[in-house]
A and B are shown apart, each in its own frame.
Chain A
Amino acid sequence: MFIKRTLSFVAAAAVSMSAMAWQPSGKVECLAPADPGGGWDFTCRSVGNVMQTLGLVEGSVQTVNMAGAGGGVAYAHTVSKRAEDNKLLVAASTATTTRLAQKQFPGMDVEMVTWVGALGADYGIIAVGKDSEYQNLNDLMDAVKANPKSVKFAGGSARGGWDHLKVLIAAKASGADKLPAIPYLSYNNGGEAMTQVVGGQVDAFTGDISEATGFMESGDLRVIAVLADERLPGKFHDIPTAKEQGIDAVGPNWRGFYMPKGADEDAQKYWVDAVDTLYASDEWKEVMKSNGLIPFHPPASEFDEFVRNQVKDIETLSREIGLLK
């Protein structure tokens, strides 16, 4: 414990050394753009706790919930009312970039905030029922290529939402055309969608690995591909990636932060470094492990670019399926 604490002190000192000019004093606010209990709320609360343990903040990190428009209310609030706030972090994920790409936050775009960093991810998967004829992703995609209407997908997001996009990313990577013709059934959540796949009414499930764990372990659902660069750690190690099946599709649902663009440059740098320090800490690794988060952390210099690229890709895909004109 003593060593751990010393280490985190050293880490914190290293951060403050590199950002001598600015340090947060007093209360820091973490805005969770949803009701308590969801993923964004979790991001704020767990990061706040670890930041306090590591001494990255002097006072406390207060989580403020601001639900509405899938994060749009919080985005608008950050852009218009808190544009120069040095002590505001806002939780974000792939859901945020998807909505930005599809112009679901009217009058706002990805340029209006600073993207701080990512702290892990939940990876996309494609799964079929246990009695399905499709043994791997290639079988499935060959059927889609032969007749786009032959495989019906079910997922927990709206049409054009992240679960739908993952199917399209995989189909596009496998060389399928006629993307808009691929049937996608949207359900209120992943569980409802899985029931239909397990019950045999729909052919394939698209979602995140964390949602599918229960049905995967009970044997009702066969995960035929995970949309990650490499195989996932631990009990997910047996699931083949799409890449190793020759389909270059990656779909991380990352969790991270953005902050106001008008904040001091020193403050922005401080938070980018702080997220790096946090990600490297043992405390955070423990949080990731106990909550099923999988490592995902583009280097600080590349995160902004990663977000822009993701937005661009989603925008292109959304145009292809006719969701954006």
Chain B
Amino acid sequence: METLGFLMDGFAVALTPYNLMFALFGAFVGTLIGCLPGLGPANGVAILIPLAFTLGLPPETAMILLTSVYAGAMYGGRISSILLNIPGDEPAMMTCLDGYPMAQKGRAADALAVSAIASFAGGLIGTIGLIMLAPVLAKFALTFGPAEYFALFLLAFATLGGITGKNPVKTVVAAALGIMISTVGIDISTGTQRYTFGVLELYEGIDFILAIVGLFAISELLFFVESRMGRGRDKMNVGKLTLTMKELVMTIPTQLRGGILGFISGVLPGAGASLGSFISYTLEKQVVGKKGKFGEGDIRGVVAPEAGNNGASSGALVPMLTLGVPGSGTTAVLLAMLISLNITPGPLMFTQNADIVWGVIAALLIGNVLLLVLNIPLVGFFVKLLSVPPMYLLPIVTMVAFVGIYSISHSTFDLYFMVAFGVAGYFLRKLEIPLVPIILGLLLGPEMEKNLGHALVLSDGDWSVLWESPLAMGLWIVAGLGLILPYLVGPLLRRRMNAAMKENPVSD
């Protein structure tokens, strides 16, 4: 009941015209970012961070904007999957399987509509799950001491490679890079300076917002400049909507299954939305069995992964908000934003910053409705935007990034730093080193170090404290599984994913 009261207060925050405007804007931009191939939700949120600073938004509005972008990107990813057979982002990969065949049969409009509805259902189920699970977990988190937190961060790192990580060595390299960057500056547990070389600007460490905007947004610009200079795509034809009520009703069980499965895989650290959509699709195929025509344009093959990835996107917010440990790349970026707004995620946030937490959760619910409304009638508009040449988008993004970063600290030094990170990000991506583990290393490394130090101070140097409590022990076991399982199950899953992809004629 208490939760309901908080949620009502959250609606009061989210429904102010000012916040509603930003939620709508975020949902719109998010969808756009999601449907542009290559621009995933993490990049989308990273690109919008400077805008929040440029406009000097209050914390709750900034978070509402970014979570709307996040939800929007999850919706948008399906558009290019269906129309072009190119996933707009990784979680939308499974949507290609049946979405594109549907489009080829002239049912593109139906696929887009039904997937929008599935996204809505998934998002709704995920957000309801978040509302029920988060406050419980937040209370539980009060019992976490340094040893338990250490084990939890270990778990986050262990599952980092996750199931979709392609090359474990590169993931480790990336995480190590992130941790190395995070050691610059004063070490709070000893009070000594590390790697500052007497440069005053480095004394407070490297602001991870700089690193995020540089690595994601600026490197994205460089990529765009390199590969997509020139004109946009040809205009595409969406066709007429022929979706019947009967078909829609038939997909309801699929939507429920997909949303719930997605939510669960979102809550698990490291798994995230890609796994959510994959599991939902696979399960749906099992459940429906031979009756379905999966891979040839079965409507349920579009519904399942979309419900799954949107459910997962809300699920991934659970560990981020309650424990301060992100469940995916995008939530890591959101976490960084929270920290730089001077809000510490964790059990305290649910009481001390209740307006922000519940405002954001309410905004997710409202955002889902907005997105549904945006996505059904306006789908033609987004399709048109797909054919806008990037040369018009690039200067705007660049400008916003620079102005935003400058307005945080008024330091030109930070701008140089951001550009340096952008160039580094470009080369890292060329080397196929993933960027998300860098951010996670940067965010979680110091926390893990701090908690290790604290645990050892409390136990007077006895290392066994790290696994003494049953809770810590449990986390160690899950971490162990998280580290080993991907090696056993991962290749199998990936082979299946690839096999599933190959069953379809891939044409552009």
The answer to whether the Cβ of B162 comes within 8 Å of any Cβ in the partner chain is no
The secondary structure that dominates the A interface is loop
User: B346 is contacted by which of A72, A186, A192 (Cβ under 8 Å)?
Assistant: A192
Q: Are A70 and B408 in contact (CB under 8 A)?
A: no
Report which A residues bind B (CB closer than 8 A): 35, 37, 64-70, 72-73, 76, 102, 104-106, 149, 152, 157-161, 164, 183-189, 191-192, 194-196, 198-199, 201-202, 214, 323
As a 0/1 sequence over residues 107 to 126 of chain B, the CB contacts with chain A under 8 angstroms (1 = contact) are 00000000000000000000
Q: Are B457 and A152 in contact (CB under 8 A)?
A: yes
The answer to whether the Cβ of B145 comes within 8 Å of any Cβ in the partner chain is yes
Give the shortest distance, in Å, between A129 (CB) and chain B (any CB). Answer: 11
Q: Are B457 and A185 in contact (CB under 8 A)?
A: yes
Q: Are B145 and A160 in contact (CB under 8 A)?
A: no
Give the shortest distance, in Å, between A55 (CB) and chain B (any CB). Answer: 29
User: B200 is contacted by which of A76, A152, A192, A198 (Cβ under 8 Å)?
Assistant: A76
* Complex CA distance for A35 and B188, rounded to whole angstroms: 20
> Which bracket fits the contact residues of B?
35 or more
User: A106 is contacted by which of B142, B198, B453, B460 (Cβ under 8 Å)?
Assistant: B198
4 further interface pairs, Cβ-Cβ under 8 Å (given A105-B200, A159-B190)? A149-B460, A186-B189, A192-B348, A199-B144
CB closest residue in chain A, given B414: A67
* Complex CA distance for A142 and B193, rounded to whole angstroms: 34
* Complex CA distance for A106 and B413, rounded to whole angstroms: 19
User: A191 is contacted by which of B200, B201, B344 (Cβ under 8 Å)?
Assistant: B344
The answer to whether the Cβ of B352 comes within 8 Å of any Cβ in the partner chain is yes
Query: Which residues of the other chain, A, contact B342 by a CB distance below 8 angstroms?
Result: 37, 189
* Complex CA distance for A37 and B409, rounded to whole angstroms: 11
CB closest residue in chain B, given A186: B188
CB closest residue in chain A, given B407: A36
The answer to whether the Cβ of B186 comes within 8 Å of any Cβ in the partner chain is yes
Q: Are B200 and A158 in contact (CB under 8 A)?
A: no
11 interchain pairs (CB within 8 A)? A66-B411, A69-B203, A69-B204, A104-B193, A161-B191, A164-B191, A183-B457, A186-B450, A196-B145, A196-B146, A198-B142
Q: Are B344 and A201 in contact (CB under 8 A)?
A: no
The answer to whether the Cβ of B347 comes within 8 Å of any Cβ in the partner chain is yes
Give the shortest distance, in Å, between B417 (CB) and chain A (any CB). Answer: 12
Q: Are A35 and B191 in contact (CB under 8 A)?
A: no
Give the shortest distance, in Å, between A310 (CB) and chain B (any CB). Answer: 18
* Complex CA distance for A187 and B188, rounded to whole angstroms: 8
Q: Are B409 and A67 in contact (CB under 8 A)?
A: yes
User: B201 is contacted by which of A73, A161, A198 (Cβ under 8 Å)?
Assistant: A73
> Across the A-B interface, how many residue pairs have beta carbons closer than 8 Å?
97
Query: Which residues of the other chain, A, contact B457 by a CB distance below 8 angstroms?
Result: 152, 183-185
The answer to whether the Cβ of B187 comes within 8 Å of any Cβ in the partner chain is yes
The answer to whether the Cβ of B384 comes within 8 Å of any Cβ in the partner chain is no
* Complex CA distance for A222 and B188, rounded to whole angstroms: 26
Query: Which residues of the other chain, B, contact A37 by a CB distance below 8 angstroms?
Result: 342
Q: Are A72 and B203 in contact (CB under 8 A)?
A: yes
* Complex CA distance for A160 and B342, rounded to whole angstroms: 22
Q: A188-B344, A199-B143 are in contact. Are A69 and B409 (CB under 8 A)?
A: no
Query: Which residues of the other chain, B, contact A196 by a CB distance below 8 angstroms?
Result: 145-146
The answer to whether the Cβ of B496 comes within 8 Å of any Cβ in the partner chain is no
* Complex CA distance for A189 and B143, rounded to whole angstroms: 19
CB closest residue in chain A, given B460: A149
Q: Are A68 and B352 in contact (CB under 8 A)?
A: no
Interface centre among B190, B200, B450, B458 (most CB of A within 10 A): B200
CB closest residue in chain B, given A159: B191
Q: Are A189 and B187 in contact (CB under 8 A)?
A: no
As a 0/1 sequence over residues 182 to 197 of chain B, the CB contacts with chain A under 8 angstroms (1 = contact) are 0000111111010000
Q: Are A104 and B203 in contact (CB under 8 A)?
A: yes
CB closest residue in chain B, given A321: B191
Q: Are B142 and A160 in contact (CB under 8 A)?
A: no
CB closest residue in chain B, given A324: B191
Give the shortest distance, in Å, between A70 (CB) and chain B (any CB). Answer: 6
Query: Which residues of the other chain, B, contact A323 by a CB distance below 8 angstroms?
Result: 191
The answer to whether the Cβ of B495 comes within 8 Å of any Cβ in the partner chain is no
Q: A67-B411, A199-B143 are in contact. Are A152 and B458 (CB under 8 A)?
A: yes
Interface centre among A189, A199, A201 (most CB of B within 10 A): A201
Query: Which residues of the other chain, A, contact B202 by a CB distance below 8 angstroms?
Result: 69
* Complex CA distance for A65 and B348, rounded to whole angstroms: 29
CB closest residue in chain A, given B146: A201
* Complex CA distance for A164 and B187, rounded to whole angstroms: 14
Q: Are A35 and B143 in contact (CB under 8 A)?
A: no
Q: Are A67 and B454 in contact (CB under 8 A)?
A: no
The answer to whether the Cβ of B228 comes within 8 Å of any Cβ in the partner chain is no
